[in-house]
Chain A
Amino acid sequence: AQTVTQSQPEMSVQEAETVTLSCTYDTSESDYYLFWYKQPPSRQMILVIRQEAYKQQNATENRFSVNFQKAAKSFSLKISDSQLGDAAMYFCAYRSAGKGGSEKLVFGKGTKLTVNP
Chain B
Amino acid sequence: GAVVSQHPSWVICKSGTSVKIECRSLDFQATTMFWYRQFPKQSLMLMATSNEGSKATYEQGVEKDKFLINHASLTLSTLTVTSAHPEDSSFYICSARKAGLSVYFGPGTRLTVL
Q: Which A residues contact B (CB, under 8 angstroms)?
A: 33, 37, 42-47, 50, 91, 103-105, 107-110
Contact = CB atoms under 8 A, between A and B. Distances in A.
A23 B86 CA distance: 34
Interface of B: 32, 34, 38, 42-44, 46, 49, 91, 93, 95, 97, 101, 103, 105, 107-108
Contacts of B101: 33, 50
A30 B108 CA distance: 33
B43 A43 contact: no
A43 B91 CA distance: 9
Given A42-B107, A44-B105, A45-B93, A105 B43 contact: no
Contacts of B42: 109-110
A44 B46 contact: no
Contact of A43 (B34, B49, B97, B108): B108
A11 to B, nearest CB: 15
Contacts of B107: 42-44
Residue picked from A42, A44, A46, most chain B C-beta under 10 Å: A44
B105 A45 contact: yes
Contacts of A50: 101
